[in-house]
Structure 1
Amino acid sequence: MITAFVQPAPSMPSESSATPVHDASSETRYGALFEQAPVSIQILAADGRTLRVNRAWEELWQIRAGSALMAHVFSADYNVLTDPQLLAGGITPYLRRAFAGESVAIPAVRYDVAALGGAGPTRWVTARAHPIKDAAGRLVEVMLMHEDITERVAAETALRVREERFRSLVMATSQIVWTNTPDGRVLEDSPSWRAFTGQTYEQWREFGWLDALHPDDRAPTAALWQDCVARRAVFETRYRLRRADGSYRWTAVKGLPIEDANGAVREWIGANTDIHDTVLAQAELQEQDRRKDEFLAMLAHELRNPLAPISAAADMLRSGVAEPAAVRRASEVIGRQVRHMTSLVDDLLDVARVTRGLIQLEHEPVAVADVIAGAVEQARPLIEARAHALAVTGDAAGACVLGDRHRLVQVLVNLLNNAAKYTPRGGHIALALACQAASVTIEVRDDGIGLDAALLPHVFDLFTQAERSPDRAQGGLGIGLALVRHIVTMHGGSVAVRSDGPGTGCVFTVTLPAQPEAAGTGTSLRAVTP
């Protein structure tokens, strides 16, 4: 049995000594020292048999004097040089070196007493094998001293299991986990960091991790990190981290200084959490809030504008001295402004119904020509007021869709009014109809101010408006196109917009499912073309 730290035991006087000294007191003293030694000692004969063991050895291996197992250990049937466990553990070569006269430190080995036929324990031990020689230098015995390291091995195994569990947890989590030295440098590898960023260990070690940050985030992050390291304060921030595919994603970062027993920073441990989708969602919410605030400001402006002419007309009528022509003009002003305010309120009510899903559609065959005629009739005053030229083209004869005529007219009116408002005075607006077997397409084109590419994806969102042009007298709440999309979608159709950029105009395209022609509903577009 083997393994444990061993110190050479005092050599016993041999019978071949030049001046043998043997008295009862010496034998008793040496015997007491051997038995009471706190270290497990096993004395081996020159051929590998066991000659003597002390009490610490018995306690270590739980083999008691007088037992059958103890008798086996001392018998010729047991030899440490042929012990199967020591052979399998690679210990025998060390023992042979000791039997050749060398003092040898023997590495750790796991030894199970049960393999000898007993019920004893399994121990991890290290050992030292020390040769005992006579005056002539001949090997007399080998002293084997064991150190029980079972608890240490168990603790190291438990620590290794915890570390492996931690590494497995790190690999399984979506977070990027990292450790840094007390002075803030990277030395230990982080597979999760390398997997996310595509950096090699050499690229990210020391302060190379900063290269994976967005260029705009590197300097402020480095300054904050160095400050936290100097103050031993929690490092908490967020930055954009480059993925292996080259894209950047926002991550929330937190690093904690870990102190040792003396209060000094032993290391830093931290993690990056991907918050990119959350950041984008927050940005979208902030943008929606901004548009809503602009909408409320526009609403106040649009509702206030008609009040001045209404108030002036009312004052004149209240004077009682106005000429009949002036009264008629005042009445027309009041009527026109009230209609404008009513239109704004109707749009607001429509938005409320749409957002709450309360719009109810009629489902009946509707002639497309009738829809276009109604829309042109309603939009004509604004188009003429801004001196635009309107051209309507296409063959609508027989074209029919299933839906709500009033709402479909509202769709085209909003598109035509939108073209009129965002086209400089004296511009051109074209409405074109194209009919296929399964669909009807209506296109509204203008040569107005156009749309920036950044605005195109949001043009059908609530409260979205292009920049107001200086000559744009007509206001609006930025909700017309949102209503267009909702109404068209409810009819099973789609609406799209394209623009080549500012100053190039816009093209809005509405596509609706076609229906068989309803009797008596066909109308030529020629009747509604200016």
Structure 2
Amino acid sequence: MQEDSSRPDPADPARELMFLSGGGDMGAMMRAHDWSRSPLGHPRAWPQALRTVVGLILNSKLPMFVAWGPELGFLYNDSYSEVLGDKHPAALGGRFHDIWSEIWPDVGPLIERALRGEATFADRLYLVMNRHGYDEPTWFTFTYSPVRDENGEIAGMYCACVEVTDQVLAEKYRNEENERLRGLFAQAPGIMAVLRGPEHVFELTNQSYMQLVGHRQVVGKCVREALPEIVGQGFFELLDRVYASGEPFVGNALPVRLQREPDGPLEERYIDFVYQPIRDETGQVTGIFVEGSDVTARKVVEDELRAANRQKDQFLAMLAHELRNPLAPIMTAAQLLKLGRLDARSVAGASEIIVRQAAHMTDLVNDLLDVSRVTRGLVTLDKETLDLNVIVAAAVEQVRPLIDMRRHALTLQLSGRPAHVTGDRTRLVQVISNILNNAAKYTAPGGHVVLAVTVAGDRVTVAVRDDGVGIAPDVLPYIFDLFTQAERTPDRSQGGLGIGLALVKSLVALHGGTVHAHSDGLGRGSEFSICLPCAAQARPRAAGTTGAADGVQDNGNLRVLVVDDNTDAAQMLAALLEVQGHAVSVEYDAHGALARARDEHPDVLLLDIGLPDMDGYELARRLRAQPENAGATLVALTGYGQGQDRAEAQQAGFDHYLVKPADLNEVNEVLAQAEARR
């Protein structure tokens, strides 16, 4: 038989290693490798089954290796050399256990199963490998399969693997990022929700959204089922329009009525929000992202600010009206006096008009100052034990002229026994006279006013009832608010700045009491009641008469120096004092006053505080430093009347402090004291 020349010659070494040809870098390395120390021996002695497997893996682009023989000699291809890292090329022909000792506890059991004939598959197995000089987490997907020799016996195992570390880490990062975003979504301060499909099914909501709608189950439900109470409020229609058109919608401070508690009432909230369409990869709208904020608190504040601005504008209009009213007759009377053609009776009438209207303006300004001081906590009460019956009598005396002028029938119902309270006499008279004055003003002429004092337990109550125009129900809750004036007459002809009742409430509160208003409506009268705690025990101070006679007092002949940069004010005060028989000089600045005081040695100096060259406090200190004026009576006459102003005046050396426009009785009392000292 002729020999087949196409078969390799067993005697040819090159032909014996033909199965390693075409194996890339690893094939070349295997051909050139020193196999003397390998448990596999030289490739020429490898069994055919091993040769076949090695030829297969060398020509594969998938990372592969085969471990053969009792010591599992290790052979691999080019792709697997990248998996080995720095273990390559030393790993070629080495023992599997020695090469991957760090992961042997993880893969050893799988290898044993393969050597027993059981193929295994591992998906994304976590392995800590040391292939670059340090431990690193890795993940692999691979199969371990048994390899049999020519006799059918299992002689080794084969592996095809893919490193998925990058994919696992990327997926892990994505998951962590998604969880972080979910956490941010859930904890975001704004309301957020994701709706899917044309029925707007809730897919996600955050805590703020659930706080807005009330904690109920909404995820998985369409909005019409989850929030049935907003039917007819326009929100469902907006969602449908955004889904159909793909155009976002922005709403600002829109009201929504929600049933936030089971079986609870509808609550109105205000929200800023955006309905933003969600699109898929083809551009089709698949859902709506809802984002916004509950701005109810902001809306309430804005409404309150707008209301406050309206009240401010109304107050300024009322202030202008109230100041113009007395100014008109004052100007007219002054012009008549200037003409000098009036007889004595007409002069007296014009003067009375000026005095009366100026007093009215003074009352307005004093009310404003009182409100300012009370609201800033600058009012100090001079408390003593008082009988409220006596206080009521004093208040009635003040309001009696108005009551008589309007021909009202006033009925007093006093307690019949002492009604002791602890308070400031002046302030309590002011409170009760204010309430009584309102009753007289807002009751038609010939009406009825009842003032009652009752003592019950540890409380004393003063109630003022009238049959006047009454108070509208929508005004009643705000009747004690600052600058609130009930329009109880169509033309508001009674006037007022809307601060009197606010002042009453504040002063009563300072006394530890309360004040209430009641009315059955317009045309049905009203009742105001003041409730104060009874005094712990009666410790009345000796009562003295207050208020001087309205006529001019004769305080003798004093030397008086008036210092005021307001020429008209200085000259009019000087004229008034001269009429009473005093010798009066006038200066309009501090330096002139110092010179005149040094020459004339006045008994009394009436000093304005706001002088152009130095303030009145410094002037007082310099006057006190002059020996000839050290004992003079210094009187501060100023438009400032706060507690700190009075304290500063006392420190500067003033004996008395009068607030402009000073009452003539107060000036006369000061002069009388100066006369007594002389």
Band the TM-score falls in, shorter-chain normalisation: 0.7 to 0.9
Q: Which moved more, 1:315-324 or 1:144-153?
A: 315-324
Distance 1:374 1:321, change over 3 A: same
Q: What is the identity, as a one-letter code, of the residue corresponding to 2:389? A: A
Relative to the length of structure 2, the TM-score reads 0.59
CA distance in 1, matches of 2:512, 2:93: 92
CA distance in 1, matches of 2:396, 2:506: 21
CA deviations on 1:188-242 (whole Å, 9 max, x unpaired) are: 3114223531453367646778867696563896599679x74568x46333453
Match of 1:54 in 2: 77
- Does structure 2 retain, via aligned residues, the 8 Å contact 1:450–1:504? yes
Q: What is the identity, as a one-letter code, of the residue corresponding to 1:35? A: L
Match of 1:239 in 2: 254
Match of 1:17 in 2: none
CA deviations on 1:144-199 (whole Å, 9 max, x unpaired) are: 42221111211221222222223333444443223456999555311422353145
Match of 1:155 in 2: 170
2:495 corresponds to 1:495: no
Distance 1:265 1:455, change over 3 A: same
Q: What is the identity, as a one-letter code, of the residue corresponding to 1:283? A: D
- Does structure 2 retain, via aligned residues, the 8 Å contact 1:99–1:139? no
Match of 2:487 in 1: 467
Instruction: Give the 3-state SS of the residue equivalent to 2:485 in structure 1.
Output: coil
Deviation at 1:435, TM superposition (A): 2.0
Match of 1:28 in 2: 21
Relative to the length of structure 1, the TM-score reads 0.74
Q: Superposition pairs for residues 136-147 of structure 1, below 5 Å?
A: 144-147=159-162
- Does structure 2 retain, via aligned residues, the 8 Å contact 1:493–1:512? yes
Match of 1:349 in 2: 369
Match of 2:608 in 1: none
- Residue-pair matches, total: 488
Match of 1:18 in 2: none
Q: What is the identity, as a one-letter code, of the residue corresponding to 1:239? A: L
- Does structure 2 retain, via aligned residues, the 8 Å contact 1:366–1:521? no
Match of 2:212 in 1: 196
Distance 1:139 1:308, change over 3 A: same
Q: What is the identity, as a one-letter code, of the residue corresponding to 2:318? A: M
Deviation at 1:346, TM superposition (A): 1.9
2:420 corresponds to 1:403: no
2:413 corresponds to 1:389: no
CA deviations on 1:492-518 (whole Å, 9 max, x unpaired) are: 322223344444433322222322332
Deviation at 1:412, TM superposition (A): 0.6
Q: What is the identity, as a one-letter code, of the residue corresponding to 2:82? A: E
Distance 1:65 1:338, change over 3 A: closer
Q: What is the identity, as a one-letter code, of the residue corresponding to 1:159? A: R
Distance 1:64 1:500, change over 3 A: farther
Match of 1:505 in 2: 525
CA distance in 2, matches of 1:46, 1:503: 116
Deviation at 1:305, TM superposition (A): 1.7
1:71 to 95, 114, 121: 95
Match of 2:503 in 1: 483
Deviation at 1:287, TM superposition (A): 1.0
2:301 corresponds to 1:281: yes
CA distance in 2, matches of 1:120, 1:310: 101
Deviation at 1:441, TM superposition (A): 1.8
Instruction: Give the 3-state SS of the residue equivalent to 1:292 in structure 2.
Output: helix
CA distance in 2, matches of 1:165, 1:51: 44
CA deviations on 1:86-136 (whole Å, 9 max, x unpaired) are: 799xx99x989x957xxx97533223458xxx97644212246789999xx
CA distance in 2, matches of 1:39, 1:293: 85
Instruction: Give the 3-state SS of the residue equivalent to 1:478 in structure 2.
Output: coil
Distance 1:73 1:389, change over 3 A: same
Instruction: Give the 3-state SS of the residue equivalent to 2:432 in structure 1.
Output: helix
CA distance in 1, matches of 2:76, 2:222: 55
2:221 corresponds to 1:218: no
Match of 2:183 in 1: 168
Instruction: Give the 3-state SS of the residue equivalent to 1:402 in structure 2.
Output: strand
CA distance in 2, matches of 1:447, 1:95: 109
Q: Superposition pairs for residues 31-430 of structure 1, below 5 Å?
A: 32=27, 34-35=57-58, 37-43=60-66, 52-62=75-85, 64=88, 71-73=95-97, 85=106, 107-113=123-129, 121-127=136-142, 144-179=159-194, 188-192=203-207, 193-197=209-213, 198-201=215-218, 205=222, 218=235, 230-231=246-247, 235=250, 237-241=252-256, 242=258, 244-245=260-261, 246-254=266-274, 271-317=291-337, 326-395=346-415, 397-430=417-450
Match of 1:441 in 2: 461
Distance 1:70 1:161, change over 3 A: farther
Distance 1:505 1:152, change over 3 A: farther
Instruction: Give the 3-state SS of the residue equivalent to 1:444 in structure 2.
Output: strand
- Does structure 1 retain, via aligned residues, the 8 Å contact 2:516–2:528? yes
- Does structure 2 retain, via aligned residues, the 8 Å contact 1:367–1:521? no
- Does structure 2 retain, via aligned residues, the 8 Å contact 1:295–1:478? yes
Deviation at 1:303, TM superposition (A): 1.2
Instruction: Give the 3-state SS of the residue equivalent to 1:309 in structure 2.
Output: helix
Q: What is the identity, as a one-letter code, of the residue corresponding to 1:162? A: E
Distance 1:460 1:225, change over 3 A: farther
CA deviations on 1:368-395 (whole Å, 9 max, x unpaired) are: 1221011112222333333433222132
Instruction: Give the 3-state SS of the residue equivalent to 2:494 in structure 1.
Output: coil
- Does structure 1 retain, via aligned residues, the 8 Å contact 2:239–2:275? no
- Does structure 2 retain, via aligned residues, the 8 Å contact 1:50–1:74? no
Deviation at 1:463, TM superposition (A): 0.2
Structure 2 gaps, min length 5: 1-14, 28-55, 545-678
Q: Identity of counterpart residues, as a percentage? A: 34
CA distance in 2, matches of 1:68, 1:144: 15
CA distance in 1, matches of 2:528, 2:233: 39
Instruction: Give the 3-state SS of the residue equivalent to 1:306 in structure 2.
Output: helix
Structure 1 gaps, min length 5: 1-21, 523-530
CA RMSD for the aligned pairs?
Answer: 4.8
CA distance in 2, matches of 1:496, 1:203: 53
- Does structure 2 retain, via aligned residues, the 8 Å contact 1:105–1:127? yes
Distance 1:438 1:187, change over 3 A: closer
CA distance in 2, matches of 1:494, 1:280: 27
Deviation at 1:415, TM superposition (A): 0.9
Instruction: Give the 3-state SS of the residue equivalent to 1:111 in structure 2.
Output: strand
CA distance in 1, matches of 2:380, 2:98: 102
CA distance in 1, matches of 2:154, 2:179: 47
CA deviations on 1:61-84 (whole Å, 9 max, x unpaired) are: 555565599514499x99x9xx87
Distance 1:152 1:267, change over 3 A: farther
Match of 1:527 in 2: none
- Does structure 2 retain, via aligned residues, the 8 Å contact 1:433–1:443? yes
CA distance in 2, matches of 1:284, 1:119: 67
* Greater RCO, 1 or 2 (C-alpha within 8 Å, sep 6+): 1
